[in-house]
Structures are given as structure tokens and as C-alpha cells.
Chain A
Amino acid sequence: MPPSTPPGEFNAEQYRALESARKKLVTPLVVLVVVAFWFQQIVTNFTGWMDGAVVAGLSWAYLYAFALFFLVVAVTTQYRRKMAAIEAKYKPSGTGADQ
């Protein structure tokens, strides 16, 4: 576990800004991933909407499933880049942001 930092070094304003910025970044990404994935599960598992072919050899169900792989790469890229910026701006020194 990281070592305790004396209370005097803690800056509540700085933390509040960090927590708020983090929440604004994480919440939409979680919602996006959850909705995209469970919509795919429900639509392919309970309806026939995705049964047809987009082109010969590729069904809508497969196209959607493949798109989820690109979605996760986009989400991780976005999250990593934005969290680095948020931490550089708000995170107290010596807590891992600069490592």
C-alpha cells in the first residue's frame, strides 16, 4: 500500500477538482460501453434484427460484434490520454501521476 501522507499535505480543493474531472470522464465511458455491449447481447440474442447480411459473408451481427472490438480500443485510448491530462493538472505530486 502506498505510504501515508501527512494530513497537512492534503489539498481538498485539488482533490475535489480531480475527483470531479475523473467522474466526468469515466461515467460517460462506462455508460457507452455498457449500453453498446448489452444492446448487442439483447438484439442478437432475443431478436432477429441482426440476422441479415451487410455484404456477402458478413452478417449485421458479426459487424456489430467486430465494431465492439474497435470501440474498446477507442475507449482505452481516450481514457488513457484524458486521464494523463487530468492527473498532470490536478493530482498531488508524488502520487504516481508523474511516474
Chain B
Amino acid sequence: MKISATAAVIFLLLVAVTLGITYWAGKRNKSVSSHLVASGHISGRQNGVAIAGDFISAATFLGTTGAIALGGFNGFYYAVYIPIAYVLAMLLVAEPLRNLGQFTLGDVLATRFGGLNVRGAIATSSIVLSLIYIVAQFVGAALLIKLLFGIEYWVAAVIIGVLTTIYTLFGGMLATTYIQIVKTAILLFCGVVLVVMVLAKFGWNPLTLFQKAEAATNASNAAAKAAGKPMGPEALEPFRGGALKQWDQFSLILGVTLGVLGLPHVMIRFLTVRDSNAARTSAVTAIWIFAGFLIFMPVLGYGGMLLIEKGRAGIPPGGNMTVPMLSNVLGGDLLLSFVSAVAFATILAALSGLVIATSGAVAHDIYGKLIKQGHVDPTKQLFVARAATLGAVVVSLLIALLVEKQNVAFLATLAITISASANLPALLGTIYWRKATAKGVFWGMIAGLGVAVLMILFSTTFMGASAPVQLTAPGIISIPAGFLVMWLVSMLTQPKGAELDAANSLFDRIRIQAVTGMDPGNPDHLTPAQRVAGH
């Protein structure tokens, strides 16, 4: 599919707007704090829209719609988990994170476990999973742009890399946030236009659309059965392809749902607001946008299935082209161009957030805290943050150029599963579990990360059908492994005597700060009577 001059004009207009935002933000981006967390100056509502934009990415808007068009009800699983994951993030993580953190997830853990091992482990985990995520996004984005605009893969990758570098290097988190807000607004407008146009074709009744989708899949399955060919998933009923596929599906949803609560680029968004109240507003705003937008994904998916020429058979494998093809059917070149430009902006905004999260872990955790032991010159730290920004884009771009022909779909699954298996046990243990120890948290992270990576390496993804691990999504094993090892090692390394008193006092102090945002000061100032039962 090649796009006309209309697309080029809309595309250039959108790029001009984003560069304008970057120029404006660049004049304000003068410190490490502004570069990494916009100095905490983003309002709760604005941050909520940006958070929603981070997760209503190209994978959601294009991928989930395509998954519903091709896979029926099962595709909707990829929409339902998102608001659920964010409700859990709101209830369990968002506010404590705002009250305890400064720039990174490592700050939260370091409030309780001052040693370098724990900060080093969470920083490494954050950098590894963010880079994996960036590569996955880069490859997917470049392939999509190649398809949409009819340009070479490497050209698409370089354009994406250059624009992402400009946004993040000069505009930092402030530019990234406002670009994300603008993109979310345009994407939501685009989604509403498409939903209205689809419903107009089916008498404004979603149930009519659903009935026709069901009739279409029933007819194609009857024809496939008569011809002795495999039947496709039905439109409205869950598809269960045998025990292994069912467990794999369950494992994948477990990983992606819990993974949201530990993803650095998602969680650091809660550090861009001034207090826990604003963090709560951010989460609520994001969840309402998710609920209002994602509930209409089946309308677009089934609209695509019914309106695109040849139905499911006319949609290329993977389903990512469903929305662009549907746009072309409904609104011709103008709507297709608009949707393509929005998809492009979506990719750039999502990548920018990931790059900022990576540079934060490098500049603040690795350089500032591990190498410089906290005695760091702010100017040098800002330089390191910008160098890390550039490094993250260049490394990801080079890997993306090398793996063009490889199937890298597993990378996104691996990244979010590492988040659920390594980062989440550490975060929850630090915030909520009195008996957690530094060694327990450290080894829990190593176990979660190690099991997730090993399971992917020994799975059918790498070793073919005879692989020892038949699951392609490791979450169902690696997540419990992370929690179990943290529990076991913590129980084996419980402090005694004066160390126990100090650990309890520190935990009380962390709890107070996590709940109120107020540091009660030196734990020695708390008498036993003032201590509060742990949770």
C-alpha cells in the first residue's frame, strides 16, 4: 500500500507540530530533573492522558483491532487486560511510587535497601527490558512505516531513530509528555471517526455488526469444513486450540497484566507529577480513557473483517493493516493518510518514553548512584543522561537494522514478562512486606529475570517444535519464581537483634512516607509505641 501526497502533507504537518513542541520544551529542559521527570510539573490530568497514550500504542490501536478481525473474541483479551492492569497499578503502586521515588524505580528500592546490589539489579533489569522493548517497537514500527508509506525498511528505521533522538535529546520528558498528549488526542479523534463511520454502515447498532460478523465467520468455516481445510476462530465465542495454547494464552495475559506494574517507562510517568494525589488523578484519567476507547475495539475489528474486500482473507497476516485498510474503505485516501500519520506519531511518542526511562536508569542509577556514589555534578549528570538517550536510540537502531528479517514478536513478550517477574516482586516486596531483605529482593529479581530469559531461549521460539519448553509466554512460571525466591531468600536472611530493630524502624519509616508522602525523619526518632504494624 502506497500513500499519496495527502499523506506526505499530513505527515509533515504532524512532524512540524512535534518539533515545535520539542523546541518549546528544549528551552525549559535544563536540568536532570526536567530531562527525566519534567521536574514533577505535569498535572494529574495531563499525565493521565500521556499514560493512556503510552499504552494505546500502535500495537494496541492497530494490533488489537487486527487480532479481533482475524482471531475473533480472543483478540479482545489484548484490550481487556489494559484497564485492569492500570487499576491494580493505581491501587498498589502509583501513590507509593510517587511518594518514595525521585527519577527511577531504583530510588524506590533504595529508600529501604541502601546497598548498591539492589539498585544495580533493578537498574540493569530496567535497562535490559527497556532496550528489548525499544528494539521490538523499532522493528515493528519500521515494518509498519515501510508498508504504510512504501519506503525502504532502513529508511523508515532511520527516520524514526532521528526524530526520536531529537524529541528526547532536546525536549526530554517535557517534550515526550506533550507530544504524547497531542498524539493521544488525535488518536482518540481518529478512533471516534472510524467507530462512527463503521456503525453508520450497520444501522447504528453494534449488535447488528456483531451478528453479521458471526454470520460471516460461520459461513467461511462451513466452506472450509466442506473443503477439508482448517476452520478459523468464530467471531463471538472464545477460541480454545487445545491445552497448550490455552495455558500459553493464560500465561501471556498473566505476564502482560502484571508486567504493566513494573514497566519503567510506565511507572516513571507517576514521578512527573507533584504528589500522590496527582498520581491518583493520573491513573484515574488514564483508566477512563482506556475504558472509553478500548471497549470499541471490536467495532473496528469486525468492521474491518466485514468491510475490507475478501474479509479475513484480504487482511495480511498479523492484522496490523486492518485499521489502515478499513480507513481506506471508509474514507479513501484522506482518512488512510490521516490514520497512517497518527500511527507514525504513536510510534514516535511511545519510543520517546522508553528512551527517557532507559537514560534515567543509566544517568541516575548507574552513573549517579553506583559509579559516583551520589556525589555527582548535575551538569555532568545531564550530559550523561543525554549521552544515554543518544546511545539507547543508536544501539536499538543498529539492532533493528540487523534483525529486519527475523521474527522479533517474542521480544515485547519477553520485556513485559521480565518486568512482571523481576521488577514487580521487588517493588511490592519493598513497599508492602516487612520481612523482605535486600538479599531476598536482589535474588528475587535475578531469579525472575533469569527464568524468563531461559524459558524463552529454550522455547519453541528459538528451538523449534521439539523444544524442552513448549510455552512461548513464560510468565506463568517466571513470575511465581521471582516471588518465591524473594520470599525464600528473605526468610533465610532475616536480621536479628539490633539489626532487626533497625530494619523494622526503617520499614515503618518507608510505610509512613509511602502513604503520606512525609518522611518522618531518622527512624531512631520513632519509639516502639509509634511503630505501626506492617502490612
Taken together as a complex, chains A and B put the C-alpha atoms of A36 and B278 apart, in Å, by: 27
Contact: A7 with B291, CB < 8 Å? no
A57 CB → nearest B CB, Å: 4
Known: A19-B511, A55-B207. A99 touches B275 (CB 8 A): yes
Contact B73 A61 (CB under 8 A): yes
CB-contacts of A1-22 with B (<8 A): 1-7, 9-10, 12, 15-16, 18-19, 22
Q: List 15 A-B contacts (CB under 8 A).
A: A1-B107, A7-B526, A10-B518, A12-B531, A37-B81, A41-B253, A45-B240, A45-B246, A61-B238, A62-B210, A72-B290, A75-B87, A76-B288, A96-B276, A96-B277
Taking residues whose C-beta sits less than 8 angstroms from the other chain, chain A's interface range is 35 or more
- Size class of the B contact interface (CB-based, 8 Å): 35 or more
**Contact of A7 with B520 in the complex, beta carbons under 8 Å:** yes
What 16 new A-B contacts, CB under 8 Å, besides A30-B92, A96-B275? A5-B519, A15-B512, A19-B511, A19-B532, A22-B515, A56-B211, A57-B206, A57-B209, A57-B214, A59-B73, A61-B238, A65-B73, A79-B90, A92-B516, A92-B518, A99-B274
Closest A residue by C-beta to B107 = A1
B529 touches A12 (CB 8 A): yes
**B280 — which chain A residues lie within 8 A by C-beta?**
79-80, 83
Chain B nearest CB from A96 CB (Å) reads 3
User: Are the C-beta atoms of B207 and A7 separated by less than 8 Å?
Assistant: no
Contact B519 A33 (CB under 8 A): no
Residue B80 CB within 8 A of the other chain: yes
A10 with B101, Cβ < 8 A, contacts A19-B532, A33-B84, A72-B84 known: no
Total A-B contacts with CB atoms under 8 angstroms apart: 169
**Cβ-defined contact, B236 with A72, below 8 A:** no
Which A residue sits closest to B237, measured CB to CB?
A: A51
Q: Which chain B residues numbered 92 to 114 have a C-beta less than 8 Å away from chain A?
A: 92, 99-102, 107
- Determine whether the beta carbon of B238 is less than 8 Å from that of A69: no
Q: Which residues of A contact B (CB under 8 A)?
A: 1-7, 9-10, 12, 15-16, 18-19, 22-23, 26, 29-30, 33-34, 37, 40-42, 44-46, 48, 50-51, 53, 55-59, 61-62, 65-66, 68-70, 72-73, 75-76, 79-80, 83, 87, 91-92, 94-97, 99
Closest to A70 in B: B291
Q: Is B76 an interface residue (CB 8 A)?
A: yes
Q: How far is the CB of B287 from chain A (nearest CB, A)?
A: 5
Chain B residues within 8 Å of A, Cβ to Cβ:
73, 76-77, 80-81, 83-84, 86-88, 90-92, 99-102, 107, 206-211, 214, 236-238, 240, 246, 249-250, 253, 257, 274-278, 280-281, 283-284, 287-288, 290-291, 294-295, 298, 511-513, 515-522, 525-526, 529-532, 535
B87 near A76 with CB under 8 A, answer yes
Cβ contact within 8 Å between A58 and B210: yes
How far apart are A82's CB and chain B's nearest CB, in angstroms? 11
CA–CA, A83 and B516, complex, Å: 12
Query: Complex: how many Å from CA A15 to CA B246?
Result: 46
Q: Is the CB of B277 within 8 A of A2?
A: no
